[in-house]
Structure 1
Amino acid sequence: LVEKHVKKEKQVAFYADQLNIGSKKLTNLTKETLGVTPKGVIMEELLRISKKLIVESSLSIKEIAWELGYTDVNNFSAFFLKETMVTPTEYRKSNQQ
């Protein structure tokens, strides 16, 4: 579900609704099963896709941000920096073949 919708939906409530359960129940089940919160699962998938697009595509960082549902490239860059400790541009430079 997260793989399918993460580019447009980043809210736990959306996924809980899709599964016809409450957000609290989803959080408990996800933590019990995967050891992380639903928000953590969403962020991990978003980061995985971000890294893949940064390294494997010729899209600009701004285009990647838009592709992932960010309306402001600065919000995407801040998310990426927080999760990886490098900017998207630095990540791209260090992972070029």
Structure 2
Amino acid sequence: MKVIFLDRMERFKSKDKNLYCSAAHNAIEGLILDAFSHVAKEDVNKDIQFEYLHYTNRFKVLLQRDYKEFKKVSHYANELNISSRKLTEMTEYILGKTAKQIIIEKIVDESKKLLQYSDYTISQISYELGFTNEGNYTNFLKKHTGKSPSMIRRYAVAIRS
């Protein structure tokens, strides 16, 4: 397993520094979440900060799994059996951001990765990320980044050149 992981990281490193950093970040975050799943439940219940951390980490795992299909806080709150308001309270306490902001950041980050590192058309990316059409996707990105998908792609290509 160690060899596979190291080989995978080396492939990312040889392709692009940003891709390598992103892969390393995701790998480390995954290891932390795996370790957290082994903490005894009674220890989780001792401290409100620990409980908030627990739910926030579970939310991030669910978001990684579901962000393409579900973009509403209510979905994740229902999966965690808590209210949307409680989930937002927890993420604000732990991460300093609302649950909605975290969902938006995830979609924007994944958009940028696909625009920079894939050969997909903007239309293909919009459908890959669960948008009903390219126009909705373009409007979403403009609203949250101030740039259209084609501007983000051109900028990424210019930087790599």
TM over 0.5: yes
Q: Larger radius of gyration, structure 1 or 2?
A: 2
Cross-structure match for 1:9: 70
1:54-78 deviations in whole A, cap 9, x for unaligned?
0100000000000000011111101
Residue 82 of structure 1 deviates from its aligned partner by 1.4
TM normalised by structure 1 equals: 0.96
- Distance between the aligned counterparts of 1:30 and 1:84, measured in 2? 22
Question: Where do 1:55-70 residues align within 5 Å?
Answer: 55-70=116-131
Task: Please list every run of 5 or more consecutive structure 2 residues that lacks an aligned counterpart in the other structure.
Answer: 1-61
Percent identity between matched residues is 38
- RMSD of aligned Cα (Å): 0.8
The DSSP-based 3-state class of the residue aligned with 1:95 is helix
- Distance between the aligned counterparts of 1:42 and 1:93, measured in 2? 25
Q: Which has the higher contact order (CA 8 A, sep 6+)?
A: 1
Residue 89 (1) aligns with residue 150 (2): yes
Cross-structure match for 1:31: 92
**Higher helix fraction: Structure 1 or Structure 2?**
2
Count residues in correspondence.
97
- Distance between the aligned counterparts of 1:86 and 1:14, measured in 2? 28
Letter of the aligned partner of 2:128 in structure 1?
E
- Distance between the aligned counterparts of 2:104 and 2:119, measured in 1? 23
Cross-structure match for 1:41: 102
TM normalised by structure 2 equals: 0.59
